[in-house]
Amino acid sequence: MFASVIVSVSSNSVDRLFTYKIPDSLVDTIRVGHRVFIPFGNRDIQGFVIEIKETADIDVSKVKEINRIMDGTPVLTEELIQLSKKIASYYVDRQISVIEAILPVALKTKSKTILKLSEHAGNEATVLFNELQKNNEVIVRNLDKDELKKIVPFMKSKELIEETIIAQHTKKKTNRAVRSLYTGNMPSERAVKQRELLEWIESEDAPITLLRIRDAGYSVQLVDALEVKGLVERVDVIVDRDPYDTRVFFESERHTLNDEQQIAYNKIKDAMIENRQETFLLHGITGSGKTEVYLETIEHALNKGKEAIMLVPEIALTPQMVHRFKARFGDDVAVLHSALSHGEKYDEWRKIKEGRASIAIGARSSIFAPFKNIGIIIIDEEHESTYKQGERPLYDARQVALWRAAYFNCPLILGSATPSLESYARSEKGVYKRLELKHRAKAQPLPETTIVDMALSRQEGNISIVSDILREKIIERIEKNEQIILLLNRRGYAHFLLCQDCGHVPMCPNCDISLTYHKSNGTLMCHYCAFETPVPNKCPECQSTAVTFRGSGTEKVEEILRDMFNTEVVRMDIDTTRNKGMHETLLSHFVEDNIPILLGTQMIAKGLDFPNVTLVGVLNADTTLNIPDFRANERTFQLLTQVAGRAGRGDKTGEVIFQTYNPDHYAILDAQMNRYIDFYKKEMEYRKIARYSPYYFHVLFTITSENFNHCVKASHDVSTKLLEHISNQSIVIGPSPSPIERIKNKFRFQILLKYRHEPALLEILEQLDQRYYVAYKKSGVSLRIDVDPQFIM
């Protein structure tokens, strides 16, 4: 038997399958998806078994043998292997890179797979374990072929249990516990506590941790006494690193679906019953109860014995969302997001792989949850750009979800109050089936929204970032003991430092962008390369002391609000939520201590449901409007509509204030009136004229080099190659400098390809990728190919 193996080497030159002989001792053990150690050149490396076949397609005498397997069970399913190949092809990347993105980081760190005796191990398994163990553990990769053959039957009978130990988390994976060695001899009747503790230990099916014993009021000395008498022994037990182990989730109250929700649910359920792959666009205004529809469809999938994946944007994965799912489904839920440690993510992934969780909820990478029988996939806030990976492989979780849904013949739900133009256009053409939720679930009215012209406000003498109208509304809410959410999508204290005598603005030495002032640590910082420098006392150019800060970020506005209203403010941005658990801590502080004002960047715009929030203020509605990207209008409309939906979600009426210098812009006016259809029609007209998505597909080529001339030359080369091979129906824009021409000391040029149908495009992209893979090694010029980009920057 032979195996086709992909090697864990991120190089185009080895981006193919290699044939290896399966040793006779492993023929019954190795399966597709196994990690294996293989000889490659003059070293042993890791690979993944992609295919098993009876014959080799090359000279058998030249075929090397697989050394050993790394895990008792495969880490990849056959479906995920097929998916990795599809992703690599579509997004022009190496399959091994995709496989590594699919698997948790913990499996790519220094790790070892060991075997342990189960509680039910028989004598034969125990004898074998004792023969093979070193330091009370058996490391799978150290076993030879004969030893591996011996352990297989005991793994199948679950007498030997497999565990992956991650080097940096080993100590957290086990807890000290006590198990009974009781054979009929009890402590003396005078040792009441010892007898009591032994009876408890004996009654349990599994060892009891010392932590549980102490919590129950027994001392460690009692355990010592029982151990001396040979009645118990200390052992290590595996424990999951549960990020929510300190939280208590009470079963939530079930809500009866209203008519709109019931209609939507019934149509999705019909597709589930028929095992029909269909994509539903659930278009529901903020507060319309989309989540309740999600919960019902997931429950139906579980009742059918199937599994569910629910994706939410990272910024929307709030404690409220997690609580809602945990309260409904308990331990059936595995949560995956970036705030977890590698070990916690690995344990959540392992719960899914071992069948101990049937629901995966999380951010973008959760789309790769290793389920084998998916019944429903849900993408909430489907319009969010964060579903597109920013580093290679540049996959889009929405596209991956479509592929997985097709494989499992299950429905895919795309939910949003402000769907992407692409999704809504597909629903107009019948490619997606659109379901509408036009009313709030609890029949609350949508908040009334007022637009404040900040240019007019300045003319009237108010130069503050808080307009007179918004200030009055905030005071009114504070007096009523109600809460306010304020959005400013710009972090830091001030946008930049300016010399008032010569006009000098300190720039990042590595990037073509000004440095942002952060008062908390007294530095000027680059938000692209993290360069930091102390704030100068005088101008570096003319030595003038007339330096001043211009613009306002969340850090400065927090100070302004505290002084203006003499009240406490909770600030949420990247700077205040860097540490683990701070997101939840800050929101809990806001709710439980009834803090009047929550100030933050776009991370507060969605996923929050606070009944006492009756006022939402957007301090600068133009921030996203001025970005040089064709989706700027769409993102502005979406952000404003989403944050406005945070107001008036309880019994109290909500109100919203948009502060802007563009009061007549249709994106802002339509967001004010919650007119999605009007905005959609206007924006589609502009997209059609300018030949942008969804009328055209896009590929963005970004060429970077530390040498400006090399960058320019390569850009023209890429452009020439494209023009030689594409049809005259497609459009090539560029090459031109990127909006930010230099980042991290690398010059950046870009080319945008717009096309509708190019059958040979994939071949062209692969040739360019290969060409510049070689070029990078020679001259340091790199080419990034972004298929279906979310940002043209």
Distance CA 181, CA 231 (A): 5
| Model confidence pLDDT, tens digit, residues 125-145 | 888 988 888 877 788 878 887
Of 134 and 453, more confident: 453
Asked if pLDDT for residue 174 goes beyond 70, the answer is no
Asked if pLDDT for residue 684 goes beyond 90, the answer is yes
Reference 769, options 386, 392, 399, 388; nearest CA is: 392
Distance CA 571, CA 574 (A): 10
Distance CA 505, CA 519 (A): 17
3-state SS string for 712-732: HHHHHHHHHHHHHHCCCCCEE
Q: How does residue 317 score in pLDDT terms, banded at 50, 70 and 90?
A: low
Asked if pLDDT for residue 696 goes beyond 90, the answer is yes
User: What domains lie within the chain, and their CATH numbers?
Assistant: 2-108 (3.40.1440.60), 259-437 (3.40.50.300), 448-493+552-686 (3.40.50.300), 697-787 (3.30.70.360)
List Cα–Cα distances, 576 to 107, 312, 606, in angstroms.
30, 22, 18
Q: Is 711 annotated as a binding residue?
A: no
Amino acid letter, residue 490: R
How much of the chain, in percent, has pLDDT values that exceed 90?
55
| Model confidence pLDDT, tens digit, residues 524-560 | 999 888 899 999 989 988 999 998 888 888 999 999 9
pLDDT at position 663: 95
Instruction: Find the mean pLDDT for residues 8-27.
Output: 88
Of 567 and 172, more confident: 567
Q: In the predicted model, what is the mean pLDDT of the chain? A: 89
pLDDT at position 166: 46
Please list, in sequence order, all residues whose beta carbon lies within 8 angstroms of the beta carbon of residue 361, skipping any fewer than 6 positions away: 309, 310, 311, 312, 317, 321, 322, 325, 333, 334, 335, 336
Instruction: Find the mean pLDDT for residues 619-630.
Output: 89
Beta strands in 155-194 (DSSP E): 160-166, 174-180
pLDDT at position 654: 94
Token couple for 733: 């824009």
How much of the chain, in percent, has pLDDT values that exceed 70?
95
Q: Is 529 annotated as a binding residue?
A: yes
Asked if pLDDT for residue 245 goes beyond 60, the answer is no
Distance CA 596, CA 571 (A): 12
pLDDT at position 168: 35
Distance CA 351, CA 33 (A): 18
Of 793 and 308, more confident: 308
Q: Is 410 annotated as a binding residue?
A: no
Q: With both helix axes pointing from N to C terminus, report the angle between 95-102 and 78-90 in degrees, rounded to the nearest 10.
A: 130
Reference 216, options 226, 224, 208, 205; nearest CA is: 208
Distance CA 414, CA 200 (A): 51
- Measured from the Cβ of residue 727, the count of other Cβ atoms closer than 10 Å reads 12
pLDDT at position 111: 58
Instruction: Find the mean pLDDT for residues 190-208.
Output: 84
Q: How does residue 318 score in pLDDT terms, banded at 50, 70 and 90?
A: low
pLDDT at position 238: 67
Backbone angles phi, psi at 298, to 5 degrees: -65, -45
pLDDT at position 167: 46
pLDDT at position 102: 94
Asked if pLDDT for residue 520 goes beyond 60, the answer is yes
pLDDT at position 579: 79
Q: Which of 154-168, 581-595, 684-698 comes out lowest in average pLDDT?
A: 154-168
Asked if pLDDT for residue 244 goes beyond 70, the answer is no
pLDDT at position 207: 86
Asked if pLDDT for residue 319 goes beyond 70, the answer is no
Beta strands in 538-630 (DSSP E): 547-550, 569-572, 597-600, 613-618
Asked if pLDDT for residue 81 goes beyond 90, the answer is yes
pLDDT at position 108: 67
pTM check: above 0.75: yes
Backbone dihedral region for residue 584 (phi beyond 0: left; psi -120 to 50: alpha; all else: beta): alpha
Of 614 and 495, more confident: 614
List Cα–Cα distances, 635 to 290, 545, 663, 686, in angstroms.
21, 40, 16, 15
Q: How does residue 80 score in pLDDT terms, banded at 50, 70 and 90?
A: very high
Distance CA 198, CA 218 (A): 11
Asked if pLDDT for residue 410 goes beyond 60, the answer is yes
Please list, in sequence order, all residues whose beta carbon lies within 8 angstroms of the beta carbon of residue 230, skipping any fewer than 6 positions away: 181
